[in-house]
Structure formats: structure tokens, C-alpha cells
């Protein structure tokens, strides 16, 4: 199989690194790459930082391993290859009345990439993360052997792989349960919050009554307005809620692709001024109301613009997503938001969500509040801000999401993910040569 | 030929990405498919995938294009199992290693046996079946490389050129019995064959080529370049006088 020398980056376009990229067509092809080692697995490259990069090493683009292999129309149990995208799952199964059990904020990720990050969605408070819905995985190990793992068989491998950032083996196939839907619409409700306390109260109040919830915070608002924003809620609409004429075709696939950013501008067009505009228009377009909306706009508002990450200019951007335990949440949130408001680095997008229970060794979520912030410019003072935020998060007993990270230090990682030793022991057992690695893995001490 | 629900097609070389996306196009229209390829586990996966996505019957078959003796049984079993065939789409092909083929007859022979003799063997069997039925379509995937011999890939090119001529003759013969024969000449397609070799902006996605293939059948085309602009590129290339062409490094 041939390799192509390519400059790669994650969705944040920072860092950018060169590697030898292979694109296998079959598992047999992938097997050829194992003896060479120094291998990083890559799906659709939607992780933000360096999780699917391998400076000067080998990268396997696994998007061509994308076949559906089994589906049980009674239970919704689906088996597919790891390179199938969530967009394809929706396209094939929404018309038949099935939906993803958990979905991230973009549908352009692979099933394997989503499991490797153990992704969470707006329903984490009642559905936990994706791994809860995965029954088993077929993994191609560094030895060339293919094994099936689940909660019952090789549970150590199962839990080291879900959230394991592609470092235990190739997720060749995954079996997971889809959820039944009567319509592809959501009953949507938007509620305004005046300040942080009101925001937290609103989430507490509505979470038990809605499948999905997430809040948007105006990242420029400080002082008594700190934490003001809008809470977005949604539940799958039952058939009876649709207007009569829509009931005849209640399950349309509603993917829109309107525009695309073809080339990054020389500088970021996301700056304090445009962020202010963005926040104002956001408040305006998300007026308090209730409505029926299509799933695509509800779950994937950003997928409508192709390659929107280029708007941040050639310097790239970073999303800082952290979570802190419930008891420390309010205080940490205030300090984190104030830290950002006071710094000169405006965050273009601040998202808040309350997580529920979570299993796993390296899975990100924990019961508590998670906050995600997008930052445009990359510069030394900005990196100092990120480091200060990481420190604050670590001290609160919280952690930073690896799928979005490009900066975390090894020491802070170990403090944030206390089960890392257990994970490393499993890594030793299943990949003793350290064949699977990545720039992130080296940074965090997860692989040689 | 109109393609629609209830028709049954054989796809040879079903593990090629172009073949898989062509299978999707046919399955979308409700056709039943027999998907034949070399590796049992790979064709099984393709057949399951097509069935899950589109709900049409899709069955796997294994064959080797170079195992000529096994071809009659493959086609007979296919026909007896399905009752009849409405057509065949032939995708298998072997690029081979030109440098190696210049020193090893075995390499050259493998290329010719897959691309030309394998196709002659299988298409003749299907042609006779369709001729008897007086309907159907034969689609052969040749290549722009078969339009002119070049130093960098003339063994592959000549095998594809021979395939193009074979398809032309077959079309001439079968036009008497209402059977359509389509010669498909793709340019660069983004598959394993070109990955890491061709960096041209002209590389097309296999999805695009697949859509073009099925549309060509529906439009009753005889010879089709995919994407369309290759028709003009090849026209220019064919017009270059040999005394000039032989010195060019293409
Ligand atoms: C706009 C946007 C919104 C997002 N919203 C959310 C969200 O709401 N919740 C959330 O949890 N995440 C979210 N994410 C992050 C995203 O879901 C994850 O980064 C996901 O892992 C990306 O999948 P991918 O296929 O692009 O994988 P890549 O980014 O290519 O790789 C991610 C990881 O998966 C590993 N991997 C890839 N393929 C395999 C394989 N076959 N076997 C084993 N390991 C493999 C890689 O090695 C790497 O460690 C969002 C990302 C974007 C861009
Ligand atoms: N890619 C291009 O740019 C391009 C351009 C013009 C024409 N073409 C033609 O398009 C067709 C499809 O090629 P592709 O690009 O999709 O490349 P590909 O992925 O390499 O497909 C080649 C196919 O041929 C099969 N094959 C090879 N030898 C065989 C044998 N002895 N018996 C049975 N099957 C055999 C392969 O099966 P396995 O999976 O088992 O190996 C594979 O399915 C080929 O005929 C090729 O010549 C390609």
C-alpha cells in the first residue's frame, strides 16, 4: 500500500503536522501497517487538536472501511465498520424510525472516532455517553489478531478502548443500539436566563423533562450579567404532535448543506466585534419560544456551513472544554468565566451542559457541569490563558476533554484522569510494543 | 436501457469502490444484485452493506478473473439461481507494475489475463445469455489508458485497449439482438489505484463515476468518458502525431 506525505491537522487547524498517510481499503490492508508500528488512527479528523496526528510518523485514514454489516429491525441493534459516518447512519436509519443513541454536535464523525472519544451529546443527563450504548467491538490488535470485546468478554480492553483515543487497537466493527423515534422532528423550547444562578436553576428545572438540553452563554457578559444566555431544550416529537399534513411523511432526512468556506482568510474574521454581533444575533434568533424543528438544525447547527473552521484564519483555533464535579461547579464556572471575560481573548461560543453518570477509564464526562469555549487566535498570551484554565479545572477536581485538546500537560492530565494507570496497564497488555501512538499520546505519556 | 425495480444484475469486481457505488445506484432503483469478487469476506461485507442500505436482495459470490475454467459454472449458477440476468457490470482490473512487466513475462501476463482475457471469458458467457433473451446490458470498465500506448503503463494500457476493441465488436454483434454494450473509460479516479501516484486536480470521486456509469446506461450511450472532460483531453492526445508522441514523456 502506498503512503502520501501530507500536512494534517484536527478541526481546530492547530497544530499542523506532516505525516505519511495511508488509506487502506480493507482490514487486510490495515494489517500490513502493524509491523511498522508508529501508527496513528484517523477517522474524519473532527477532533480539534492532535489526537489523530503523528508528527513524521504513519497515519491510517480509516474512512474507506465504511460498510454496514448487520441490522436488527426489531431491537435497533446495528453492526458496522468503524469508518461509517454518523451522517450515513442517520441517512439510512432515520427514514426507518431510528436515531443515534448519542450524537456529538456534528454528524461528520466516524463511528470508531466517536467511540474512541466516547462522545457525549445533549442527552448525557439521561443517556450517558456513547459507550453505554455500545454492546461490543471487533478490534484489530497490534499483534494482527482480531478480538471481540464487550462488558463480558475482555472488559478491560472494552473500557480501555471506549474513550481510549485510538491507542489500544483498530475499532474494525462496532455493535450498538439505535433508539426508536416516531418522527424526525423535535419538540423544541428556548428559555432565557438572566445570570448564572438563573441559568443553573433553569437547567436543573428542565433537565428531567427533556431528552436534550444545552445552554449557550454570552461569553462577553461580565459583572451581574455573568452567565446570562439561553437554555435550549428538545425532545423527540411523537407522531401525534405533528401537523396532520406532515404525519404522512414523519421521518424525512433533513440534511442541509448550504455554503462552504473554501479558503481561510489571512486573519481570523472571528474577533471581539464579530463575536459581539454573533452573540446579539444569537439572542435574537433564539428568542424564548416553543416549536417543532427538524433534527438536523437542532443537533448540527454548524454542519450547514462546510469547513467553517476556516473562518478562524490560518492560525487556527482551540476549543477548551472542561467539566467539574457538581459541588465545585458554580464556583469554578464563575472563576472560569471571569478569567475569560477579564482576559483580552473573547470566546466566540460558550456552551454549558449538565452531565449525568459516567463509566470508563479515560472517558471525559463526570456528573457535574461542562463548559466549552471556542477561542480564535493563537498566541503566547493565549496559551498562557489556556494553561491557567487547565490549572483551575484540575484544582476543582475536574478535567479537560482530550478530543478537543492540544495543550494539556502530562502532569495535569494525570491529575485529571485518575484512572490513567489502569488504562496504561491495559495498553501494556494489548499493545506491548506501543505500535499505536499519536502526537497527543506522546504529549500525555500514553504511548512511546 | 431503463433501469428499475425487479431487474437483476451481476457485478464483477464488486470490492472496487467504483463498483460498490454503482451497486448503490442500482440498488436505489430497486435492482437485485449479485456481487462477485475475489475475497470471500470482502464481498460478503459489500453484499450485507448494500442490502442493509437499500433493502434489495444482494448476494455475494467469489471468483477469480484468471481462473477461466471456473467461469462457465459461475455464470450458469448465477442464471439458474436468479432465473435470468438483465445485465453485467465489469469492474475488475489490475494495474500491475509496468517496470516489473518489462522484465517478467509473468507480471505482464497477469495484467493481460485479468484485464483482457478474464473479461473476454466472462463477458462472452453473459453475452450469449443476453443474446438469447434479446435484452439486457453489458457494461465494461476500460480506461483512458487504453486509448494510446505510453511508456509508463503500456502493458496495462494495451490490455485495456484490447478490452475496448472487444467491447466495440461485441456491441456491433449484440446490436442485432437488442442488447446494449457500454464501454466506460474513466480518467483518474480516487481509489487505491491512484492513491499516492496521481496528485492531479482532475481526480474524480468514485461516487461521481458511479453515477455517470448508471446514467450512461439509462441514456443508451455506447462509449463514455468519465468525468466528461476526459473525452476532450483524450481527443487531443489521440491527435498528436506518432512521431511527436513517441518523444513525449506522458
Ligand atoms: C463541530 C464539532 C462539534 C463537536 N461536538 C461534540 C460533542 O457535542 N460531544 C463530543 O463528545 N464531541 C464533540 N466533538 C468532537 C468529536 O465528536 C470527536 O472528536 C470525534 O472523536 C471525532 O471523530 P472523527 O471520526 O473525526 O475522528 P478523528 O478526529 O479522526 O479521531 C479521533 C480519535 O479517534 C481515534 N480513531 C479514529 N478511527 C479509529 C478507529 N477505527 N479505531 C480506533 N480509534 C480510532 C483517533 O486515533 C483519535 O484518537 C465535536 C467536534 C466538532 C468538530
Ligand atoms: N482508479 C483509476 O483511476 C482508474 C482509471 C481508469 C480505469 N480504472 C479501472 O476501473 C476499474 C476499477 O478499479 P479501481 O480504481 O476501483 O481499483 P481497485 O480498487 O484496485 O479495483 C480493482 C478491482 O479488481 C479486482 N481484481 C483484481 N484482480 C482480480 C482477479 N484476478 N480476479 C477478480 N478480481 C480482481 C480487485 O479485487 P480485490 O479487491 O480482491 O483486489 C478490485 O475489486 C478497474 O478495471 C480499473 O482498471 C481505474
Compute the distance between CA of residue A42 and CA of residue A39 in angstroms, rounded to an integer.
10
What's the average model confidence in pLDDT over A169-173?
Answer: 98
Q: Which residues pair with B226 in a beta bridge?
A: B186
> pLDDT at residue A376 above 90?
no
CA of A192 to the centre of ligand 1 (A): 31
CB spacing of B17 vs A25 below 8 angstroms: yes
The CA distance from B167 to B59, in Å, is 27
Range A263-284 average pLDDT: 72
Domain contains B250: no
Q: Encode B212-236: b = buried (16+ Cβ within 10 Å), e = exposed.
A: bbbebbeeeeebbbbbeebeeebee
Q: What is the pTM of this model?
A: 0.96
**Residues whose CB is less than 8 angstroms from the CB of residue B70 and which lie 6 or more positions away in sequence, other chains included:** B63, B64
| Mutation choice for B interface testing from A4, A19, A25, A67 by most B CBs within 10 A | A67
Grid coordinates 482490473 are at which residue?
B93
CA-derived radius of gyration, chain B:
18
Which residue did the predictor score with more confidence, A122 or A280?
A: A122
- The C-alpha cell that represents A416 in the structure block: 485529571
DSSP assignment of B137-155, as one string? EEEEE--GGGSS--TTTHH
- A100-144 tens-digit pLDDT: 999 999 999 999 999 999 999 999 999 999 999 999 999 999 999
C-alpha cell at B243: 512521431
pLDDT of residue B38: 97
Q: B195 contacts in A (CB within 8 Å)?
A: 2, 4, 23
The residue with cell 497527543 is A440
**Ramachandran category for residue A360: left, alpha or beta (phi over 0 → left; psi -120 to 50 → alpha):** left
| Residue B94 pLDDT | 97
| Chain B residue closest in CA terms to A96 | B53
Residue A347 phi, psi (nearest 5): -95, 130
Q: Check if the beta carbon of residue A58 is closer than 8 Å to that of residue A436.
A: no
Query: What's the domain range around B235?
Result: 8-245
Give the closest-approach CA distance of A59 to chain B in angstroms: 14
Least confident among A138-152, A235-249, A306-320, B85-99: A306-320
Which ligand 1 atom is the nearest neighbour of the CA of A165?
49
Widest pairwise Cα distance in chain B: 55
Q: Is residue B3 part of a domain?
A: no
In a domain, B110, yes or no: yes
In the beta sheet, which residues pair with residue A229?
A: A193, A217
pLDDT at residue A258 tops 60: no
> How does DSSP assign A229-246, residue by residue?
EEEEEEEEPPGGGS-GGG
- The distance of B52 to chain A (nearest Cα, Å) reads 7
What share of chain A has pLDDT > 70, as a percent? 97
- Tally the residues of chain B: 250
Q: Please tell me the distance from the alpha carbon of residue A206 to that of residue A192, in angstroms, as a whole number.
A: 12
pLDDT of residue B126: 98
As a whole number of angstroms, the distance between CA A385 and CA A388 comes to 5
Fold of A185-408: Alpha-Beta Plaits (3.30.70)
**Percentage of chain A exceeding pLDDT 90:** 78
Rounded distance between C-alpha atoms, residue A136 and residue A153, angstroms: 9
pLDDT computed for residue A327 by the predictor: 92
**pLDDT score of A343:** 82
Q: Beta strands of A178-256 (E only): which ranges?
A: 179-180, 185-193, 212-217, 229-236
B156 classed as catalytic:
yes
CA distance A131 to A176: 9
Closest Cα in chain B, distance from residue A316 (Å): 25
Taking residues A439-446, report their average pLDDT: 98
Residue B142 covered by a domain? yes
Q: How long is chain A?
A: 448
**In whole angstroms, what is the distance from residue A63 CA to residue B24 CA?**
18
> What digits encode the pLDDT tens for the residues A29-51?
999 999 999 999 999 999 999 99
Judge: B197–A2 Cβ closer than 8 Å, yes or no.
yes
Looking up cell 460498490 gives B20
Alpha-carbon distance of A423 to A318, in angstroms, equals 26
Looking at beta carbons, which residues of chain B come within 8 Å of A67?
A: 45-46, 48-49
Among B21, B24, B156, B188, the one annotated catalytic:
B156
Distance, in Å, from the CA atom of A351 to the CA atom of A230, rounded to the nearest integer, reads 10
**Tell me, what DSSP letter sits at residue B102?**
T
Is A326 within 8 Å of chain B by CB? no
What's residue B114's pLDDT?
A: 98
Q: How confident is the model at residue A342 (pLDDT cuts 50, 70, 90)?
A: confident
Angstroms from B48 CA to nearest CA on chain A: 5
Burial A320-348 (b: 16+ CB within 10 A, else e): bbbbbbeebbeebbebbbeebbebebbbb
Closest CA to B205 of B196, B215, B195, B197: B195
The pLDDT assigned to A378 comes to 66
Confidence at residue A257, expressed as pLDDT on a 0 to 100 scale:
57
Ligand minimally distant from the alpha carbon of residue A108:
1
Predicted confidence at residue A255, as pLDDT, reads 67
Q: Report chain B residues whose CB lies below 8 A from the CB of A64.
A: 17
Q: pLDDT: is B215 or A287 the higher one?
A: B215
Least confident of A128-142, A206-220, A266-280: A266-280
Question: All 3 cell numbers of residue A14?
Answer: 492547530
Q: How many CB atoms lie within 10 A of CB A287?
A: 9
Q: Cα A192 to chain center, whole Å?
A: 25
Q: Which of the residues A68, A80, A111, A175 would you substitute to probe the B interface, choosing the one with the greatest number of B C-beta atoms within 10 Å?
A: A68
For chain A, the average pLDDT equals 92
Cα–Cα distance between A287 and A193 in angstroms, integer? 11
Residue B96 lies in a domain: yes
Pair type for strands B87-90 and B137-141: parallel
For ligand 1, whether the C-beta of A326 sits within 6 Å is no
Residue A205 cell numbers, joined: 428545572
Chain A residues in contact with B205 by the CB 8 A cut-off are: none
Scan for cell 404525519, then name that residue.
Answer: A247
Task: Indicate whether residue A349 lines ligand 1 (CB < 6 A).
Answer: no
Task: Determine the 3-state secondary structure of B229 from DSSP.
Answer: coil
Of B17, B45, B191, the CB nearest to A69: B45
Contact A210, A346 (CB under 8 A): no
Answer with the residue of higher pLDDT: A27 or A383: A27
Q: What distance in Å separates the CA atoms of residue B4 and residue A361, rounded to the nearest whole number?
A: 51
pLDDT of A283: 72
Domain of B37: which CATH number? 3.40.50.720
Locate the chain B residue with the closest alpha carbon to A65: B45
For strands A259-260 and A212-217, give the pairing.
Answer: unpaired
- The residues, any chain, with a CB within 8 Å of residue A208's CB and separated by 6 or more, are none
Closest CA to B192 of B20, B33, B27: B20
Q: What cell numbers appear for A9 in the block?
A: 491537522
| A282 C-beta neighbours (distance < 10 Å), count | 14
CA dist A75 and B180 (Å) reads 44
Task: Render each residue's pLDDT in chain B as its tens digit; 250 residues.
Answer: 999 999 999 999 999 999 999 999 999 999 999 999 999 999 999 999 999 999 999 999 999 999 999 999 999 999 999 999 999 999 999 999 999 999 999 999 999 999 999 999 999 999 999 999 999 999 999 999 999 999 999 999 999 999 999 999 999 999 999 999 999 999 999 999 999 988 888 999 999 999 999 999 999 999 999 999 999 999 999 999 999 999 988 7
Model confidence at A266, pLDDT cuts 50, 70, 90, reads low
pLDDT of residue A265: 67
Q: How far is the CA of A66 from the centre of ligand 2 (A)?
A: 18
Amino acid at each position: 500500500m502506498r503512503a502520501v506525505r501530507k500536512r494534517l491537522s484536527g478541526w481546530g487547524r492547530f497544530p499542523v503536522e506532516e505525516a505519511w498517510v495511508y488509506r487502506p481499503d480493507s482490514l487486510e490492508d490495515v494489517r500490513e501497517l502493524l509491523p511498522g508500528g508508529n501508527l496513528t488512527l484517523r477517522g474524519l479528523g473532527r477532533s480539534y487538536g492532535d489526537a489523530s496526528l503523528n508528527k513524521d510518523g504513519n497515519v491510517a485514514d480509516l474512512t474507506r472501511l465504511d460498510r454496514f454489516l448487520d441490522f436488527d429491525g426489531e431491537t435497533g441493534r446495528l453492526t458496522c465498520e468503524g469508518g461509517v459516518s454518523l451522517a450515513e447512519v442517520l441517512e439510512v436509519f432515520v427514514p426507518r424510525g431510528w436515531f443515534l443513541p448519542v450524537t456529538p454536535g456534528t454528524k461528520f464523525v466516524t463511528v470508531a472516532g466517536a467511540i474512541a472519544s466516547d462522545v457525549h451529546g445533549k442527552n448525557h443527563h439521561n443517556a450517558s455517553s456513547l459507550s453505554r450504548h455500545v454492546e461490543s467491538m471487533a478490534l484489530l490488535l497490534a499483534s494482527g489478531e482480531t478480538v471481540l470485546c464487550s462488558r463480558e468478554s475482555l472488559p478491560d480492553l472494552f473500557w480501555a478502548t471506549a474513550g481510549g483515543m485510538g491507542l489500544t487497537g483498530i475499532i474494525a466493527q462496532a455493535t450498538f443500539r439505535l433508539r426508536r423515534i416516531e418522527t424526525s422532528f423535535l419538540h423544541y423550547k428556548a428559555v432565557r436566563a438572566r445570570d448564572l444562578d438563573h441559568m443553573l436553576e433553569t437547567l436543573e428545572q428542565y433537565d428531567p423533562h427533556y431528552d436534550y438540553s444545552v445552554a449557550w452563554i454570552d461569553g462577553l457578559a461580565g459583572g451581574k450579567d455573568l452567565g446570562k444566555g439561553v437554555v435550549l431544550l428538545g425532545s423527540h416529537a411523537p407522531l401525534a404532535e405533528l401537523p396532520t399534513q406532515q404525519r404522512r411523511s414523519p421521518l424525512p432526512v433533513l440534511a442541509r448543506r448550504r455554503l462552504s468556506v473554501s479558503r481561510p482568510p489571512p486573519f481570523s474574521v472571528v474577533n471581539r466585534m464579530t463575536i459581539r454581533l454573533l452573540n446579539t444575533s444569537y439572542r435574537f434568533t433564539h428568542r424564548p419560544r416553543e416549536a417543532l424543528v427538524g433534527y438536523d438544525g437542532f443537533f448540527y447547527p454548524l454542519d450547514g456551513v462546510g469547513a467553517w473552521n476556516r473562518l478562524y484564519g490560518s492560525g487556527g483555533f482551540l476549543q477548551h472544554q472542561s467539566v467539574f464535579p457538581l459541588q465545585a461547579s458554580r464556583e469554578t464556572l464563575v472563576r472560569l468565566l471571569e478569567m475569560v471575560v477579564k482576559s483580552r481573548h473573547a470566546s466566540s461560543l460558550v456552551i454549558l451542559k449538565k452531565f449525568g453518570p459516567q463509566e470508563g477509564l479515560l472517558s471525559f464526562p463526570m456528573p457535574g457541569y461542562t463548559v466549552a469555549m471556542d477561542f480564535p487566535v493563537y498566541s503566547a498570551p493565549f496559551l498562557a490563558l489556556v494553561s491557567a484554565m487547565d490549572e483551575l479545572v484540575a484544582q476543582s477536581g475536574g478535567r479537560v476533554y482530550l478530543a478537543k485538546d492540544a495543550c494539556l500537560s502530562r502532569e495535569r492530565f494525570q491529575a485529571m484522569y485518575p484512572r490513567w494507570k489502569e488504562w496504561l496497564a491495559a495498553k501494556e497488555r494489548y499493545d506491548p510494543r506501543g505500535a499505536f501512538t499519536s502526537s497527543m499520546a506522546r504529549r500525555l505519556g500514553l504511548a512511546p | 436501457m431503463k433501469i428499475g425495480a425487479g431487474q437483476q444484475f451481476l457485478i464483477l469486481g464488486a470490492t472496487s469502490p467504483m463498483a460498490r457505488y454503482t451497486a448503490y445506484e442500482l440498488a436505489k432503483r430497486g435492482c437485485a444484485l449479485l456481487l462477485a469478487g475475489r475475497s470471500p469476506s470482502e464481498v460478503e461485507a459489500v453484499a450485507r452493506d448494500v442490502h442493509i442500505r437499500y433493502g434489495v436482495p444482494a448476494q455475494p459470490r467469489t471468483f477469480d478473473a484468471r481462473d477461466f475454467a471456473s467461469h462457465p459454472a459461475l455464470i450458469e449458477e448465477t442464471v439458474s439461481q436468479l432465473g435470468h440476468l438483465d445485465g453485467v457490470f465489469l469492474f475488475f482490473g489490475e494495474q500491475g507494475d509496468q517496470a516489473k512487466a518489462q522484465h517478467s513475462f509473468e507480471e505482464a501476463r497477469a495484467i493481460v489475463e485479468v484485464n483482457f482475457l478474464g473479461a473476454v471469458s466472462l463477458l462472452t458467457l453473459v453475452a450469449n445469455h443476453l443474446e438469447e433473451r434479446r435484452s439486457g446490458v453489458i457494461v465494461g470498465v476500460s480506461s483512458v489508458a487504453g486509448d494510446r500506448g505510453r511508456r509508463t503503463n503500456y502493458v496495462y494500457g494495451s490490455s485495456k485497449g484490447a478490452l475496448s476493441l472487444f467491447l466495440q465488436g461485441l456491441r456491433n454483434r449484440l446490436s442485432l439482438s437488442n442488447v446494449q454494450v457500454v464501454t466506460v473509460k474513466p480518467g483518474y479516479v480516487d481509489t487505491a489505484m491512484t492513491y499516492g501516484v496521481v496528485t492531479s486536480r482532475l481526480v474524480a470521486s468514485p461516487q461521481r463515476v458511479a453515477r455517470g456509469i448508471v446514467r450512461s446506461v439509462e441514456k443508451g450511450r455506447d462509449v463514455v468518458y468519465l468525468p466528461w472532460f476526459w473525452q476532450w483531453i483524450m481527443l487531443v492526445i489521440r491527435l498528436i502525431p506518432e512521431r511527436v508522441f513517441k518523444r513525449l514523456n506522458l
